[in-house]
Amino acid sequence: MNLIYELDNIKTDEQSLLINETLFHNANGYIGVRSNFEEGYPDGIDTIRGAYINAFYDFREIKQAEAFYGFAVEKQTMPNVHDVQGITLYLGDEPFSMFTGIVVAAKRTLNMGAGYTERYIHWLSPRGKEAEIRIRRLTSFVRPHLFLIDYSVTALNFEGPVTFVSTHRGDVENYFNPADPRLSQEHFRSLLPLEVVIEGTASFVSSATSKSRLTIRTAVDHILTDGDDGIGVITTVQEGHGAASHIEGRVKKKGILTLYKYCIFTDSLRPIPGAAAAELRRVMEEKPCALYSAQEEYLSKFWEGACIEIEGDKQLEKAVAYNLFELIQSVGKDPYSNIAAKGLSGEGYEGHYFWDTEIYMEPFFTLTNPAFAKNLISYRYGILDEARKNARLLGHHRGALFPWRTIMGRECSGYFPAGTAQYHINGDIAWSVVSYYLATGDLSFIAEKGAEIVFECARLWLDVGNYYRGKFRINEVTGPDEYTCLVNNNYYTNASAQYNLRWAVRFWEILNDADILEGVRKRIDLSPGEIDAFSQAAEAMYLPYDEELKINPQDDSFLTKKKWDMFHTPKEEFPLLLHHHPLYLNRYQVCKQADTVLAHFIFEDAQSLETMRNSFLYYEEITTHDSSLSTCIYSIVASKLGFREKASRYFGDSAKLDILNLHGNTKDGIHTANMGGTWMAIVYGFAGLRIKESGIYFAPALPESWKTCRFKIRYQDSQILAELTGRRTVFTLLSGTPKIINVYGKGYELSGSVTVQSPNPSRA
């Protein structure tokens, strides 16, 4: 598998720069640094120069013009933190810039196997000095506080003094755009200066967030070398709320000078032993090559379980690899953090965590690296008390309601119809806990944390819904489709509530049988009477069905509305949310994203194949896919229904969404949910994987242009390799105990390898 993503020229127009700042960012789940040029751009070129810390937040006011009871009036925002990227290189007295002199050649590389990015420039200065410049950057997975810039210059036709001016700035602010509701709307400077300390050549900058009173301390130091030893003269001085280091050396003709800039980020959420200074010393004692090899070793373990090989479409294989790499860059690896909608690559959605995690990204981790999934669930467990408070605020007497968007657990959604009203987040989180349990069999974690989440979410459904003519109904909620708000009996929501309630009952039984129910039962004072009530509501759950169209209507009123005319809508009008008032959209049958179609994937046992096929075709005509969470789901369901051409087309849009900037806003950050969705479209879509209480199921059907597709998953104590070709699939048990696998509805014992022929042409 080729793990090099490369652009062999570096475009310097504003759009390309902004997009590549995102695409080539470095992150490790703790810190993320956008790929801005160290030396900056000329005045007049817009940039989103940023570095972010996962889960680090400040509070900001939500300006509600009419602040009704219970409206969120404060949100959390991920601040842009200290800027350690600045380095200007002087060849003699000529500063290097890609906007002056002549760029003879230039290349940008992301090495996903070794875990670094690189910018290479062959440059001729205005006065004729010719140099090769190679700048590598790494955010270490093994030493998560470290961001390293490794900057080397080769003098091709000159010798003499070379100076680097390297900056460490605490005076930073966030990006904003008043015209885009997906971004912060106004100017925001969160960090207040605390102190700057210079110790020898190192600088330490500390700041505090203005309202949440969290602190950040960054430490920076340098080593200049022309081989093994440190050389040159380094002088570091305070500059405002920051520091500048002058590093002076000499280069021989054809000689190389390399500057290592070590940058340590620490914050008060996760104090580390000895803090920034000690960590700086620790990383500087290691040779850079040791840091690089540790990074590569970490990633080789990751790829060993996660990689997907596609023969027949190498471009697509690389796009898939890119998406998976971004997931490991984005996932929080400590209990404070989760995965933001844009990872750590930009400021879109302000660093918030959504249902994106549970439905779109966690499945990848659950099935390749379950420890990360466990951590993501632990994060939700950590904010369960906030979710309980949120439920009370919304008038619910029992249970917990998870916030629609959040960092530290409180609701950040200012527009409640397309935010707080999305109660399905409870069902999504419950689904992810069940999926983790089914994939891993980790019952002790369910007893410790998982079941409590599922029980509390189930309690909420009982409080939200009510019986009417014998059916349990859920009124006044919003489903996944944000162009249809505040409806009664959204099909997806009701199906997810039903699943949640059923599994609350199952977990009670399973934990009781294993004799480990008592802890959680006592903790939340859960009674058998409540379990009966869960069971009754689940069985009486109303799932809308239309006899005439033979589909599941998205909600009670959906089919009574006029249909949006997609065919005659000009291209420039998409995404519709930027051109129409929400109320206008709400009155149409028009979907921003998969809603009922998503339910047909996740809760597929609730309907017949015929209903799902009818629904798919119906909703396809009125879905804009204005949300990036949509095409991957359409691909999965198209695969299931045997629409193979559609499955490939939707998959392609999903796999290349950021690389090709298909939604036009990659500058604001990657679309992490879609990236997980790409993986799902292969594993759940083309391979037809499902894991249920009754076992593990496959129904492979590869796109016609692919020769082979190989991937691995973890299932309970085993690792299974699936190798799909058009005609057959070979399953191999790589480790663990034998398993029964069901392929196209037939059971096989997997203890070595099993080969299963594909039925032709569709498996629906």
Out of 57, 353, 354, 431, the residue judged to bind ligand BGC by CB under 6 A: 354
The Cα 210–Cα 320 span in angstroms is 40
Three-state secondary structure call for residue 316: helix
Identify the bridge partners of residue 150 per DSSP, sorted by sequence position. 136, 260
Smallest gap, in angstroms, from Cβ of residue 583 to ligand BGC? 17
Strand runs labelled E in 22-79: 26-27, 31-33, 51-53, 58-61, 74-77
Asked if the bond preceding 181 is cis, omega within 30° of 0, the reply is no
Per CB under 6 A, does 345 bind ligand BGC?
no
Smallest gap, in angstroms, from Cβ of residue 483 to ligand BGC? 9
Per CB under 6 A, does 633 bind ligand BGC?
no
Smallest gap, in angstroms, from Cβ of residue 269 to ligand BGC? 23
Per CB under 6 A, does 663 bind ligand BGC?
no
Decide whether 241 or 592 has the Cβ nearer to ligand BGC. 592
Three-state secondary structure call for residue 417: helix
Q: Looking at 114-122, 321-329, 351-359, 423-431, which segment touches ligand BGC (CB under 6 A)?
A: 351-359
**What does each C-alpha distance from 109 to 426, 429, 510, 573, 657 come to in angstroms?**
40, 37, 50, 35, 19
Smallest gap, in angstroms, from Cβ of residue 427 to ligand BGC? 14
Decide whether 168 or 663 has the Cβ nearer to ligand BGC. 663
In angstroms, how far is CA 698 from the centroid of its own chain?
26
The Cα 715–Cα 707 span in angstroms is 26
Per CB under 6 A, does 258 bind ligand BGC?
no
**Which amino acid is residue 3, in one-letter code?**
L
The Cα 407–Cα 1 span in angstroms is 35
Q: Which residue, chain included where needed, has tokens 């242009």?
A: 705
Decide whether 205 or 629 has the Cβ nearer to ligand BGC. 629
Decide whether 658 or 723 has the Cβ nearer to ligand BGC. 658
For strands 215-225 and 202-209, give the pairing: antiparallel
Smallest gap, in angstroms, from Cβ of residue 76 to ligand BGC? 15
In angstroms, how far is CA 701 from the centroid of its own chain?
27
Smallest gap, in angstroms, from Cβ of residue 674 to ligand BGC? 8
Smallest gap, in angstroms, from Cβ of residue 349 to ligand BGC? 6
Decide whether 593 or 615 has the Cβ nearer to ligand BGC. 593
Smallest gap, in angstroms, from Cβ of residue 496 to ligand BGC? 14
Per CB under 6 A, does 356 bind ligand BGC?
yes
Out of 116, 260, 336, 349, the residue judged to bind ligand BGC by CB under 6 A: 349
Smallest gap, in angstroms, from Cβ of residue 576 to ligand BGC? 12
- Site size for ligand BGC, by CB under 6 A? 12
Of the candidates 478, 473, 458, 461, the one whose C-alpha atom is nearest the C-alpha of residue 554 is 478
Smallest gap, in angstroms, from Cβ of residue 360 to ligand BGC? 9
Per CB under 6 A, does 679 bind ligand BGC?
no
Please report, as residue ranges, which positions from 270 to 309 form the binding site for ligand BGC (by CB under 6 A): none
Per CB under 6 A, does 85 bind ligand BGC?
no
Per CB under 6 A, does 657 bind ligand BGC?
no
Decide whether 50 or 480 has the Cβ nearer to ligand BGC. 480
The Cα 131–Cα 128 span in angstroms is 10
Per CB under 6 A, does 542 bind ligand BGC?
no
Decide whether 265 or 483 has the Cβ nearer to ligand BGC. 483
What backbone torsions phi and psi does residue 166 show, to the nearest 5 degrees?
-115, 130
Decide whether 656 or 714 has the Cβ nearer to ligand BGC. 656
Mutual angle of helices 491-513 and 528-539, in 10-degree steps: 140
Out of 207, 593, 607, 665, the residue judged to bind ligand BGC by CB under 6 A: 593
The Cα 652–Cα 638 span in angstroms is 13
The Cα 84–Cα 219 span in angstroms is 9
Contact letters for ligand BGC, residues 390-429 (x by CB under 6 A): ----------------------------------------
Smallest gap, in angstroms, from Cβ of residue 359 to ligand BGC? 9
Smallest gap, in angstroms, from Cβ of residue 463 to ligand BGC? 24
Out of 531, 612, 629, 696, the residue judged to bind ligand BGC by CB under 6 A: 629
Sheet of 690-692: strand order equals: 690-692, 695-698, 739-743, 746-750
Per CB under 6 A, does 5 bind ligand BGC?
no
Per CB under 6 A, does 681 bind ligand BGC?
no
Helix (H) or strand (E) holding 257: strand 256-267
Q: Are 216 and 53 in contact (CB under 8 A)?
A: yes
C-alpha angle 141-142-144 in degrees, rounded to nearest 5: 60
616 token code pair: 């798919």
What backbone torsions phi and psi does residue 565 show, to the nearest 5 degrees?
-90, 90
Please report, as residue ranges, which positions from 323 to 342 form the binding site for ligand BGC (by CB under 6 A): 341
Per the annotation, the verdict on 482 as an active-site residue is yes
Helix (H) or strand (E) holding 609: helix 609-620
Q: Looking at 249-257, 352-360, 442-450, 530-538, which segment touches ligand BGC (CB under 6 A)?
A: 352-360
Decide whether 673 or 701 has the Cβ nearer to ligand BGC. 673
DSSP conformation class of 567: T
Out of 592, 613, 644, 712, the residue judged to bind ligand BGC by CB under 6 A: 592
Out of 310, 327, 632, 673, the residue judged to bind ligand BGC by CB under 6 A: 673
Decide whether 261 or 663 has the Cβ nearer to ligand BGC. 663
Sheet of 242-251: strand order equals: 94-95, 87-91, 160-169, 242-251, 233-238
DSSP conformation class of 405: S
Decide whether 474 or 577 has the Cβ nearer to ligand BGC. 577
Per CB under 6 A, does 699 bind ligand BGC?
no
For 127-192, give the DSSP string.
TS-EEEEEEEEEE-SSSTTEEEEEEEEEESS--EEEEEEEEEE--------TT-TTS--S----EE
Question: b vs e for 303-333, b when ≥16 Cβ sit within 10 Å of the residue's Cβ?
Answer: beebbbebebbeebbbbbbbbbbbbbbbbbb
Q: Looking at 285-293, 349-357, 661-669, 739-747, which segment touches ligand BGC (CB under 6 A)?
A: 349-357
Decide whether 482 or 620 has the Cβ nearer to ligand BGC. 482
Per CB under 6 A, does 482 bind ligand BGC?
yes
Per CB under 6 A, does 243 bind ligand BGC?
no
Question: b vs e for 388-419, b when ≥16 Cβ sit within 10 Å of the residue's Cβ?
Answer: bbbbebbebebbbbbbbbbbbbbbbbbbbbbb
Per CB under 6 A, does 623 bind ligand BGC?
no
509 token code pair: 């039984």
Asked if the bond preceding 95 is cis, omega within 30° of 0, the reply is no
Smallest gap, in angstroms, from Cβ of residue 572 to ligand BGC? 19
Decide whether 84 or 673 has the Cβ nearer to ligand BGC. 673
Per CB under 6 A, does 490 bind ligand BGC?
no
Per CB under 6 A, does 84 bind ligand BGC?
no
Per CB under 6 A, does 729 bind ligand BGC?
no
Q: Looking at 150-158, 185-193, 354-362, 394-402, which segment touches ligand BGC (CB under 6 A)?
A: 354-362
Which of 482, 530, 620, 723 is an active site residue?
482
Q: Are 220 and 203 in contact (CB under 8 A)?
A: yes
Q: Looking at 129-137, 350-358, 458-466, 659-667, which segment touches ligand BGC (CB under 6 A)?
A: 350-358
Show which residues are catalytic. Answer: 482
Where does this chain bind ligand BGC (CB under 6 A)?
341, 349, 354-356, 480, 482, 592-593, 627, 629, 673
